[in-house]
Amino acid sequence: MDQISLDITNLFAPIVGPRAGLNEEEFKAMAEPSRQALAAVQERRERDLRWLALPQAEGVRDEILTYADSVKGQFDNVVILGIGGSGLGMRALQTALNGPYHDLEPQAGLPRLFVLDNVDPDLIGEFLETNDPARTLFNVISKSGGTAETMSQFLIFRQQLIEAVGAEEHARHVVVTTDAERGFLREIADREGYCAFTVPDGVGGRFSVLSPVGLLPAALVGIDIEGLLKGADHMDERCRGAEFMDNPALVCAAVQYLLQTNHDLPIAVTFSYSHRLRDLADWYAQLLAESIGKRQGRDGSTVHAGPTPVRAVGVTDQHSQVQLYMEGPFDKWFTFLAVEQSDHTVTIPEAYGDIPGVGYLGGRTLNELFAAERDGTRVALTDAGRPNMTVSFPRVDAHTIGQYLYMMELAVAVMGEHYGVDAFDQPGVEAGKVAAYALMGREGFAEEKTRIEAGMPTERRTL
């Protein structure tokens, strides 16, 4: 069984220096709180943290596979209408598990995938002009059906569909993923006769990639969802009983907490040395930021907690961000994502043997160069006193991706316990939503509109 591994050597003070590196005592002291945090999280597994048990939801998996099979070959395009957790997971899966040129040269029988997770009129307008709705399946994803962005998109593409294929036929082009019973989108699905999948209770948006939210579109574009779930199940198993030192989710949670709290490193960089793994960093950025970025602790105190997730891609960002990472403030730590075995081997041909700065490359492989740059950067950051750990993927496949997704979800849930915050709400996005509703003139928000307009300074400083 290929499993992902963690190398945490370079997090510790003897290697990386005492300025930012962990010491043995504080690390060991996390064993007991970690055990307790894990117990507290797992205790809610059957209750309100149902996402923990998604790897075992085989019935749902089979329904998805049956549906995907039934529409196979009928559509050239799958379009996700969804935002936040409804888009980021699937985009990460697509980038990791389908080739980078999947949409340009789709494999026989597989549709292209578009994640329309914005309402910028220039993006949606252009898509309306470019895309043929008659060859497209729209997957509308919103648990509540009240997400303004997603529902606006739905209204727009529904109309385009009806104009293109007729009112009756259009229902075949829509599949929704929403609450089992409640909400506007469930009501619409019932009324229109759309095929519908369920976002189970106890599965928040950012913890939903292994539910139909991520699995349905994944299956539609040919991703091995069985492998994903098996990988997640393997990680679930691995983390359920293991002691702190052998438990990757607990170690991830503990080091994140220690490095921010004890060592004042507010920035957590996911440095993906793999083009295919790069969008995992965006998925994790939501998971981490929305879960731990909280004003209030669970005890009611004001904490303003939360690491800031940053995404970097190697080798690309060696020529963009590494200068800052090497020499800038001691305010970051790094998680390298490394792939042990690429799917391709690319040899650099020999040429210009008489030109020294070029000739030495000939006969080597890009695989060697890529690994040397990754290891070189890691050595350099370590020498510069910057704590870093490495998550190694034996290869990039559904099984290892499933492991990673589950590991980080569990790690973030455990972090919530360490930071003392509720990792499963998002009160801070309400204010902006309310302001937007008010400015859009939605009923019931008139007072808020007046308040906003009164609060806006009439004299603005501009240049």
Identify residues 192-231 at the interface with its own copies (CB under 8 A): 205
Q: Nearest to residue 416, comparing CAs of 7, 48, 82?
A: 48
DSSP-assigned letters across all residues of 319-368: GTTHHHHHHS-S-EEEEEEEESS-S---BPPP--TTSHHHHTTTTSBHHH
Q: Nearest to residue 131, comparing CAs of 123, 119, 139?
A: 123
Contact status: 189 vs its own copies (CB under 8 A): no
The SS3 of residue 454 is helix
Kindly identify the residues of this chain, within the stretch 128-147, that bind its own copies according to CB under 8 A. 128, 130, 144-146
Please identify, among the stretches 43-51, 133-141, 207-215, 365-373, the one whose residues bind its own copies according to the rule CB under 8 A: 365-373
Catalytic residue among 105, 129, 319, 443: 319
CA atoms within 13 A on the CB side of 454: 6
Both tokens of 326, joined, read 């090497």
CB nearer its own copies, residue 65 or residue 434? 434
Indicate left, alpha or beta for 232 from its phi (over 0: left) and psi (-120 to 50: alpha): alpha
Catalytic residue among 149, 290, 409, 417: 290
Among 105, 168, 299, 447, binds its own copies (CB under 8 A): 105
Contact status: 299 vs its own copies (CB under 8 A): no
Per-residue b or e along 454-463, where b marks 16 or more CB atoms closer than 10 Å to that residue's CB: eeeeeeeeee
Dist. CA 155–CA 441, nearest whole Å: 18
DSSP-assigned letters across all residues of 263-302: T---EEEEEEESTTTHHHHHHHHHHHHHHH--SB-TTS-B
- How many chain residues bind its own copies (CB under 8 A)? 154
Q: Which amino acid is at 344?
A: H
Contact status: 23 vs its own copies (CB under 8 A): no
Contact status: 305 vs its own copies (CB under 8 A): yes
Please identify, among the stretches 33-41, 67-75, 181-189, 210-218, the one whose residues bind its own copies according to the rule CB under 8 A: 181-189
Do the beta carbons of residue 223 and residue 209 sit within 8 Å? Answer: no
Radius of gyration of the chain (CA): 24
Contact status: 447 vs its own copies (CB under 8 A): no
CB nearer its own copies, residue 32 or residue 163? 163
Q: What's the closest the beta carbon of residue 143 comes to its own copies, in angstroms? A: 12
Q: What's the closest the beta carbon of residue 69 comes to its own copies, in angstroms? A: 27
Contact status: 89 vs its own copies (CB under 8 A): no
CB nearer its own copies, residue 68 or residue 282? 282
Both tokens of 235, joined, read 């990680």
Q: Nearest to residue 313, comparing CAs of 268, 284, 372, 270?
A: 270
Contact status: 455 vs its own copies (CB under 8 A): yes
Q: x/- contact string, 235-274, with its own copies (CB under 8 A)?
A: ----------xxxx--x--------------xx-----xx
Kindly identify the residues of this chain, within the stretch 331-350, that bind its own copies according to CB under 8 A. 331-332, 339, 342-349
Q: What's the closest the beta carbon of residue 345 comes to its own copies, in angstroms? A: 6
Q: What's the closest the beta carbon of residue 71 comes to its own copies, in angstroms? A: 22
CB nearer its own copies, residue 47 or residue 304? 304
Both tokens of 11, joined, read 């997090």
Contact status: 53 vs its own copies (CB under 8 A): no
Annotation marks residue 319 as catalytic: yes
Contact status: 43 vs its own copies (CB under 8 A): no
Q: How many residues does the chain have?
A: 463
| Residue appearing with tokens 């973030």 | 412
Q: Which residues pair with 332 in a beta bridge?
A: 267
Dist. CA 160–CA 170, nearest whole Å: 9
Contact status: 379 vs its own copies (CB under 8 A): yes
Among 36, 56, 74, 316, binds its own copies (CB under 8 A): 316
Q: What's the closest the beta carbon of residue 302 comes to its own copies, in angstroms? A: 10
Cα 25 to the center of its chain, rounded Å: 32
Among 45, 135, 172, 442, binds its own copies (CB under 8 A): 442
Please identify, among the stretches 39-47, 100-108, 209-217, 224-232, the one whose residues bind its own copies according to the rule CB under 8 A: 100-108
Contact status: 149 vs its own copies (CB under 8 A): yes
- Residues annotated catalytic, as ranges: 290, 319, 433
